[in-house]
Amino acid sequence: MDATVEREALLRHLQVAGRGVSTRSSIQVLAGVRIAAHDGELHLAATDMELSVRTRLAAQVSTDGVVVVPGKKLGEIVRHLGGESVSLRLAEGLLVIESDGARYELNTFDADDFPQLPPTGGSLFSLDRDALLGTVQSVSRAASSDESRPVLTGVKVQVSAEKLTMVATDSYRLSVCDTAISTDLAEPVEVIVPARALEEVARIADASAAASIAIGVEAGQILFGIDETWVTARRIEGQFPNHLQLIPQSFEHEATIDRAEFYEVVGRTRLMAERNSPLRLHFTTGQLTVSASTQDIGAAEESLPIRYEGEELTIGFNADYLRDGIGSISDDTLTLQLISPLRPGLLSGEDGALLYLIMPVRLPE
């Protein structure tokens, strides 16, 4: 292999492909980026066997070839080079990297050991980029990181011709977001996608100028195409909780709160909610008092004006979960609906497109 490529372009694409590099596997080749040079392009690929990322960029290719190199180390080298272009040449089992008088030699992996990636063709439909980005950002934080319950590490994605719905839950909170769309999808699609995959797609799409994202749902796989980049993720199989049955149909109390002020107050008072101490929310007519205390550390209390009428109510919530829920809402005001100190609360925005259900924490007597 012998190719020359613009350094900044190579760095950008290495950073994209690097999202698929494994950081935990004992299989060495999964820490590598596969680089294939042919037809005036470099094709970069990486995978951890659950998620794969492929991208390509223009290059001057003198000799076709394939090499797999440590992805993180190659990225560091290219980032610190000073020249405008980089030469990549395979010689005696080493990747020789040259730029502006600098020369580096990098050990390689056996390219035959690199996993074969699923094809990127098939039946595709397109989805508005901003709609996907906004929906992922609204719900992904509610997904679980506990691998003992794989289905909860995913996000249920439902797509029809007119609506995109995403649902995530870790059993302590549940986030549901409906987004109006217009797609060329012939039949509705429902799939459970790893939350990590959706977050990686969102990161790549956020840095892209693409107006839409191509999506393909295959047996066992889901594909996302953003410009010259493809992300492939393994679908999660299993029974996802029915969110419609989990959300209460009626509530006893309702408060309307300035979202930005609520977010700031929770962000400050949570500093005193250590060692799993909950935030205490005390509702009285026209006022919400947020407090937290941790033994041997200290206590905090702040009040803010709200719209609330009815009986006084005190309820406790996990500080981080509550802050995530407030942060996922973009409207100026939000509504918090409650039943009792031991029943879940429901956060929602002005249009009701986003629902965030959060379980309470029992407060000490």
Please report, for the chain, the start and end positions of each structural domain, with discontinuous segments joined by +: 2-113, 125-243, 247-358
pLDDT in tens, the chain (365 residues): 999 999 999 999 999 999 999 988 789 999 999 999 999 999 999 999 999 999 999 999 999 999 999 999 999 999 999 999 999 999 999 999 999 999 999 999 999 999 999 887 778 899 999 999 999 999 999 999 999 999 999 999 999 999 999 999 999 999 999 999 998 888 899 999 999 999 999 999 999 889 999 999 988 899 999 999 999 999 999 999 999 999 999 999 999 999 999 999 999 999 999 888 999 999 999 999 999 999 889 999 999 999 998 899 999 999 999 999 999 999 999 999 999 999 999 999 998 999 999 999 999 87
Output the pLDDT for position 365. 72
The listed CATH number (3.10.150.10, 3.10.129.10, 3.30.750.24, 3.30.565.10) that belongs to domain 2-113: 3.10.150.10
Report pTM: 0.91
May I ask the CATH architecture of the domain 247-358? Roll (3.10)
CATH no., domain 125-243: 3.10.150.10
The answer to whether domain 125-243 and domain 247-358 are alike in fold is yes
Side chain identity at residue 164, one-letter code: L
As a whole number of angstroms, the distance between CA 194 and CA 136 comes to 11
